[in-house]
Amino acid sequence: MLSCRHLITFSALILLGLPLFASSQVFKSQEASFKLETVAGGLEHPWSLAFLPDGSMLVTERTGRLRVIRNGELSSKPVPGVPVSAATGQGGLFDVVLHPGFEKNRTLFLSYAHRSSEGMTTRVARAIFDNNKLENVTVIFEALPRSGTSRHFGGRMAFDASSYLYISVGDRGEMNRAQDTGDDAGGVHRITVSGEPVPGNPGIDDSGINNTLFTWGNRNIQGMTAHPITGDIWTHEHGPRGGDEINVLRAGTNYGWPEITYGIGYSGIPITLSTAKDGMAQPLHYWDPSIAPSGMAFYTGLEFPEWQGNLFVGALKMRKLVRLKIENRQIVEVEDLLTSLAERIRDVRTGPDGNLWLLTDSPQGKVYRVVPAQ
């Protein structure tokens, strides 16, 4: 006889149209054993994953395509209507997030690198996803000024409990821009779904701070998620050689880059001799050497009760999944998972089926589902 937990799993699999089997290899963490299911493959550098109410999924490819996975199959045709992105250097199509009221309004948001005669930048567009295509595509955010570099676009997004949208913009490889509050680079921006600055943003009453900026001193954030209980926005960002950070966002906070860092320059020469300064936030956790973090999610499902409330972070350079246990807003345990898989983990999500989902970054990228071993 199937247990209640297995019945829930079985129903969820039918709803998602996914295979009812997992790979034979068992991976073990300190808290649980698990397997991987390959849900889709053949994706060109997938970057972000979003779950639709009908059980299908949207996946962005950095090369500029938005793809649909429905009934367990990757659609051969990309979604039409996606804005043109600049897939050069670290640029391309980045995050896809659904409006909190998506089930009624069919609205979603895409972040991407955009090129004009004035250079490249990070943009966000709002669109309606209906009948398997995008309509009413409107640019609601553009980081200024543009520059000629093709690095550090940021591009992660998340909604808070008030349905305000947070957008990360990297320092564009020009580190001192992160300390200039009149520059959109090197920070996190908070806007309404129409693209307006949110009342209460630090720059609303301060002409020296751009009015959409929420934080600054951020090098290149590629992981962002809302805490399931407090609603706080948590982020991680790439350090240089060492110094990848996890932070909790606070309005008007300077996170220090490049005035303070636990990393050094790629040449081996220190960027600064300081790891702390008055008025600049300390990270909750940092990695040295760098793992090149990407993707970030709190586990909130029922399939792995041992992982409830744990934070999961993907790693590109170190090719692993990192589990972090948190107590009283402090990270008390760090565990590396999937090191033998040897794949670049680009995105991490908790799915509506109660499992953990992963994207791998390669020319033949995959969508994995993490399921209990038993």
Catalytic residues: 152
Q: Rounded to whole angstroms, how far apart are CA atoms 373 and 24?
A: 9
Antiparallel, parallel or unpaired: β 253-254 and 213-216: parallel
Residues 6+ apart with CB under 8 A from 54: none
CA angle 354, 355, 359 (to 5 degrees): 135
Q: Tell which phi-psi region holds residue 172, choosing left (phi > 0), alpha (psi between -120 and 50) or beta.
A: left
Residues 6+ apart with CB under 8 A from 28: 34
**Strands of the 221-226 sheet, one edge to the other:** 221-226, 233-237, 244-248, 285-287
Measured CA to CA, the distance from residue 202 to residue 214 in angstroms comes to 6
Q: Which CA distances in Å does 248 have to 218, 254, 278?
A: 12, 12, 18
Per the CB < 8 A criterion, the answer to whether 130 and 146 are in contact is no
Q: Are 66 and 96 in contact (CB under 8 A)?
A: yes
Distance, CA of 66 to CA of 79 (rounded, Å): 5
Residue type, 289: P
Calpha distance 184→190 (Å, rounded): 12
Phi, psi at 14, each rounded to 5°: -65, -45
Instruction: Look up residue 33 and give its two tokens.
Output: 């054993």
